[in-house]
Structure 1
Amino acid sequence: MRMIKKSVLFLCTIALLSACTQKNTSEVTRDKKQTDAVTSTIANQSGDYRMLFIDGKYRTSSTRGYTLELATVENISAFEIGLMNLSKSEFNPSQFYFIEGQFITNEEINHWLAVKSQENPNGLNSKQENNMLISTILEQDYMILNNGNYEFSGVSIGLALNPKTTASATLTDEELLAKGKEIVNQLLPLLRAKEGFDSIPIMFGLFKQSVDNGLSHGTYFATATSNSGTSVSKWSNTKLQKRVFPLETDKTEESSVFIAFKRNVEKFFPNLNGIVGNATFTDGAMSELDIKITTQFYGQAEMIAFEQFLVEQAGMTYSASELSVKIRVETVRGTELVVYKRAGENTYHSIVLN
């Protein structure tokens, strides 16, 4: 029987809302072949994916720089986090572990994003369009722990589509969806031909990027999953939108509620440096809210008081059971406190990290 060595590492990670990590000496496998040693995973406490660490380090994707082709920083965030959130319906975070894309190469991305030609038959863009229709491709990998080995068991592919194909022409949503479906059915056989991709579920998300230079986010508008084969015919419409609070131009009820929450927090701790909310809306309703509070105070008594205050205020303001909420308090030392509630829960939890 394979022995797994375990020890506790004190690693604070903001995105995962975890105070500590559990070290696990195991392997990542793709098609039952060992590829790398995995030495640590961070525990899931708030419905997020548990992350895999390679040789004790977070392994980034070799192709991650391609997301910089998106028009705005907000597009990049919505593109990456949005795909991870959509993946939860296909790859349950209680069963699957997350790692940034490890198997699609820079060379493949370059060929796929280039214009299709005799020299490049796998190109997904067309020379008929001045601007590239498909801006970038994002890979996210999902692993299952099986008998001490992490096996490559699913992948999500995000396709960022640019609706503004020429200086004067913008595709309608129907046209963008039709072209996105066409691109997926060109890309899927190329993915299935790769080692380890032949029999795993592959989820696709079509992302309509915003074309301005402001704070607006692009949105995922359609998803499909291929469990086998080289074509996809069944698609689901996805109304996933991102909004930032507070914005002066946002006069919605959700914005007003956030502003009232912000004012109450600032009255309690007037020396705060900033409070910003990032909200996810699914089918028109707010489904996730991530609030970042920045401050300079360090006192332990103050932090305990702030923890109690935030749990109370969040419970009164954001009590809807279907809403997932995370409130992070950050100082120059890093994340000090996290208050959160998972979707489906009515009770808030808190974690003091330092």
Structure 2
Amino acid sequence: MRRNPIIRSVGAHRQTKRARKQLAALGLAAVCLLSSCAPKFNEGEEVVQNKGNKEQEAVIPKYNISDSYYRVVLPFKPSGARGHVVNDVNTRLDVDEFETGLMRLASERFSPDDYLFQEGQYLDSETIDKWLARKKTDRQLKAEKMKPEDNIGLNPAINDTGTNEQKNTQSPIYLASILEHDYLVKAGNDKVKLGGVAIGLALNSVHYYSTEQGYPREVKIKDDVIEREGKRIAAEVLKRLRKIKGLGSVPITIALYKQAPRSSVTPGHFFAVTYVDEGSSTIDDWEAVHEEYYLFPSDEAEENHRDDWLKFNNFKSDVEDFFPNYTGIVGRGLYVNDQLQKLTINITMPFYGKAEVIGFTQYVTGLVMEKFPDYITVNVYISSAGQPESLIVRQAKADKPFVHIYQ
């Protein structure tokens, strides 16, 4: 990766000089201005949740932290497949994007204004393990003494003969993980019921395996193959879901996610979604999802989104001017329909006092408001020596940012 040019302006240089002079005058009183008090939570609305023939008391929180988030039915019910995604998906970045991205797509059909969120209650770990397995050949079934009805793996069977390289190159594992989200609606008389289900299918862009000697190897999977296999698997998953008690008639959203390689510093992305009407067991059509992450600074960002790349470099340059102990600053931009929607920036600095943290956070907050258009959500995480120091959040179209200094 070539060195990025430092882009400076006379006005920014003068502003930096003033900021340095102001640092000594900053006091701890600024913490009160920069920190946010925790909100007071009201008691929630008591309801009864129906599942099968059972009725359970539940609470709907009255307070919602954002219009873009779902309210979660309490007490929180962990999924029977809890922890599966963390174990199956390559990176922590993919884990987060897989979950939040599925919510984002589900909101197109299940609005946060009308629906409540609950972790998946219908697919347990045993079921998902069986679905993620490879299909067995007749010889393998006999050798493992398996019943034919248990041969329900969604990944392709591996040949009985040949080297590991031949077997894995011809039959890579496509499906890496399955995620279920449930969405509840009020059913009158203080009751809630299942209103819809969202299923995420995480697909490999790289299949990893080992040779007979234990050497790690990998097989890259082409985009058209990922899409073809993802849609094939989705059709079978839908048929199986309809046979599960309670899921026979609810609307189901299925989204396909291409996860990034293990070495990637950006997460993967969803690339297709289908909305299946209640009672239907077939997928009529798919909608393309145009989402992708870019690393800043990078050659790819410069080539494909030069204007945003320049804005980030201007921001980066001003940060470097302000603080002589500069260590590192990187950003990840989420593009939806080729438009930058969210920019997450991580800044690592060696701080030697709280006054430095306060002054630097104030300065960076001003840069965020000045350098980036208001249609972009910008999150800045400032840390030192592996611990968080401050957080800056500027929501899209917001007049004021949220700033917090960690104590």
TM-score by length of 2: 0.67
Note the C-alpha offset of 1:137: 0.5
Structure 2, unaligned stretches of length 5 or more?
A: 1-35, 137-147, 159-169, 210-216
The amino acid that maps onto 1:95 is: D
The match for 2:342 among 281, 288, 305 is 288
Superposition map of 1:102-121 within 5 A: 102-117=121-136, 118-121=148-151
Whether 2:289 is the aligned partner of 1:238: answer yes
Name 1:34's counterpart in structure 2: 55
Note the C-alpha offset of 1:293: 5.0
Q: Distance in 2 between matches of 1:194 and 1:136?
A: 19
Q: Distance in 2 between matches of 1:333 and 1:211?
A: 27
The match for 1:184 among 231, 234, 242 is 234
In structure 2, the CA distance between the partners of 1:320 and 1:186, relative to structure 1 (3 Å rule), is same
- The Cα offsets for residues 137-173 of structure 1, whole Å up to 9 and x where unpaired, read as 0112233355544433222211112245697865432
Name 1:325's counterpart in structure 2: 378
Name 1:152's counterpart in structure 2: 194
Aligned CA RMSD, in angstroms, stands at 3.8
Whether 2:399 is the aligned partner of 1:347: answer yes
Whether 2:245 is the aligned partner of 1:195: answer yes
Note the C-alpha offset of 1:278: 2.8
SS of equivalent to 1:50: coil
Range that drifts further, 123-132 or 223-232 = 123-132
Q: Percent identity among equivalent residues?
A: 25
In structure 2, the CA distance between the partners of 1:43 and 1:58, relative to structure 1 (3 Å rule), is farther
- The Cα offsets for residues 84-114 of structure 1, whole Å up to 9 and x where unpaired, read as 2222322223333333333311111012112
Note the C-alpha offset of 1:306: 6.5
The amino acid that maps onto 1:152 is: L
Whether 2:61 is the aligned partner of 1:20: answer no
Whether 2:301 is the aligned partner of 1:226: answer no
Note the C-alpha offset of 1:212: 4.8
Superposition map of 1:202-213 within 5 A: 202-213=252-263
In structure 2, the CA distance between the partners of 1:180 and 1:95, relative to structure 1 (3 Å rule), is same
Q: Distance in 1 between matches of 2:378 and 2:153?
A: 41
Q: Distance in 2 between matches of 1:105 and 1:20?
A: 35
SS of equivalent to 2:180: strand
Q: In proportion to residue count, which structure has more helix?
A: 2
Note the C-alpha offset of 1:133: 1.6
The amino acid that maps onto 1:49 is: Y
The amino acid that maps onto 1:52 is: V
Q: Distance in 1 between matches of 2:390 and 2:270?
A: 32
The amino acid that maps onto 1:43 is: N
TM-score by length of 1: 0.75
Structure 1, unaligned stretches of length 5 or more?
A: 1-16
8 Å contact from structure 1 (residues 31, 195) kept in 2: no
Q: Distance in 2 between matches of 1:239 and 1:249?
A: 17
8 Å contact from structure 2 (residues 73, 117) kept in 1: no
Q: Distance in 2 between matches of 1:313 and 1:282?
A: 24
Name 2:176's counterpart in structure 1: 135
Name 1:14's counterpart in structure 2: none
SS of equivalent to 2:290: strand
Q: Distance in 1 between matches of 2:320 and 2:312?
A: 12
Q: Distance in 1 between matches of 2:218 and 2:379?
A: 41
